[in-house]
Structure 1
């Protein structure tokens, strides 16, 4: 019988992390850079300190995700930008999955891991959208500051 594997290769998550966090550090504003730093720390803690057997609650990932939730919530409360709200909401769902596993150990490892991966990718997506929007706004601002001053009468000619 043919067995189908729907899992993404491990390099996909690494590529997303490098692209989003690298872009945030390169072209993002202060909020995007803080969020990218938090995402990188959370990812590193999760990758290096998690139990590979996925037996029970992943305490290191739970702690890292809770800290990231606090950071994203703090950013969302302090900024006028919109992207931190969905980022914090998706991160809250990541933490809720940990709590669900804590409350009900019957939650299967596959559901636990899959929920974590899917929701964390949405957090990366929100930070990526915020970085792109910040970069585009800075480009518009730069273009407006270097544009020649408008003439008094655009249809007038010199004599």
Structure 2
């Protein structure tokens, strides 16, 4: 495992763990969905530098469905933005599969960049839930 992957995993565990501990229902579901996606991706990842990974695509599509469902159930703006970030990750998978000029490196950079956006959304949702709980 590379250093940036380990740092990202630690950050994901911290933010999603905090979301599941202190967040509202939307933050807890989002944190659980993202952590499940991380673990599932680590389990199905094939170390093939020349072909797209269909297992990771399937996990990311399921995660996208979960984020869309969470967004429709809770009606919070940050959940909609998180679903949009996840849709961009799925679109990046599809771009690699459709066009051979798009490299797998582009996919990995895209997944890393947009996953930080997802973590930011979950962190914001957790902060907002804590703020709302203290205001009552």
Instruction: Give the alignment's TM-score, normalised by structure 2.
Output: 0.92
1:120 deviates by 1.3
Aligned residue for 1:101, secondary structure, equals: helix
* Correspondence for 1:94: 89
**Greater Rg over alpha carbons, structure:** 1
User: Is 2:124 aligned against 1:129?
Assistant: yes
Aligned to 1:26: 21
SS of the equivalent of 1:107 reads: coil
Structure 2 spans left out of the alignment, 5+ residues: none
Q: Distance in 1 between matches of 2:65 and 2:13?
A: 22
Contact 1:56 1:105 in 2 (8 A): no
SS at match of 1:83: helix
The number of residues matched between the two structures is 135
Alpha-carbon offset, residue 107 of structure 1: 1.4
* 2:37 maps to which of 34, 42, 59: 42
Structure 1 residues without counterparts, runs of 5 or longer: 1-6, 142-159
- RMSD (Å) for aligned C-alpha atoms: 1.5
Structure 1's 54 and 45: CA in aligned 2 closer, same or farther, altered over 3 A?
farther
Q: How does 1:97-108 map to 2 (within 5 A)?
A: 97-108=92-103
